[in-house]
Amino acid sequence: MQIRQFQDASQLTLDQDCVLVLGYFDGLHRGHKALFDKAKEVAEKKGLPIVVMTFNESPKLTFARFSPELLLHISHPEKRYQKFEEYGVDYLFLTDFTSSFSKISSDDFIRDYICQLRAQTVIVGFDYKFGHNRTNSDYLARNFSGQVITMEEVQENGQKISSTRIRELISKGDVAEANTLLGYEFSTRGIVVHGDARGRTIGFPTANLAPIDRTFLPSDGVYVADVIVGGKRYRSMTSVGKNVTFGGTELRLEANIFDFSGDIYGQSIEIIWLEKIRDMVKFNGIDDLVDQLHQDKAAALNWGKSEK
- State the distance between the two ends of the chain, measured CA to CA, in whole angstroms: 36
40/207: higher pLDDT = 40
Nearest in space to 194 (alpha carbons), one of 265, 255, 270: 265
In which residue ranges of the chain is CATH 3.40.50.620 found?
2-160
What are the tens digits of pLDDT across the range 282-296? 887 788 888 889 999
How does the average pLDDT of the chain come out, rounded? 92
Q: Please write down the HEC assignment for all residues of the chain.
A: CEEEECCCHHHCCCCCCEEEEECCCCCCCHHHHHHHHHHHHHHHHHCCCEEEEEECCCCHHHHCCCCHHHHCECCCHHHHHHHHHHCCCCEEEEECCCHHHHCCCHHHHHHHHHCCCCEEEEEEECCCCECCCCECHHHHHHHCCCEEEEECCCEECCEECCHHHHHHHHHHCCHHHHHHHHCCCCEEEEEEECCCCHHHHCCCCCEEEEECCCECCCCCEEEEEEEEECCEEEEEEEEEECCHHHCCCCCEEEEEECCCCCCCCCCEEEEEEEEEEECCCCCCCHHHHHHHHHHHHHHHHHCCHHHC
Model pLDDT, residue 289: 86
Q: Residue 248 above 80 pLDDT?
A: no
Instruction: Give mean pLDDT, residues 67-75.
Output: 94
**Residue 308 banded pLDDT, cuts 50, 70, 90:** very low
Model pLDDT, residue 246: 46
Q: Residue 245 above 60 pLDDT?
A: no
Nearest in space to 134 (alpha carbons), one of 192, 207, 59: 59
Q: 18-22 and 50-55: which strand pairing?
A: parallel
CATH of domain 185-307: 2.40.30.30
Residues 6+ apart with CB under 8 A from 48: 16, 17, 18, 19, 42, 120, 121
CATH topology of domain 2-160: Rossmann fold (3.40.50)
Q: Residue 197 above 90 pLDDT?
A: no
**Residue 304 banded pLDDT, cuts 50, 70, 90:** confident
C-alpha distances (whole Å) from 29 to each of 24, 72, 96, 261, 299 are: 11, 16, 22, 35, 28
Give me the torsion for CA of 186, 271, 83, 98, rounded to 10°.
80
What are the tens digits of pLDDT across the range 128-139? 999 999 999 999
Model pLDDT, residue 227: 97
In which residue ranges of the chain is CATH 2.40.30.30 found?
185-307
Nearest in space to 118 (alpha carbons), one of 24, 38, 19, 47: 19
Q: Please state, for a pLDDT cut of 90, what percent of the chain lies above it.
A: 84
**Residue 261 banded pLDDT, cuts 50, 70, 90:** confident
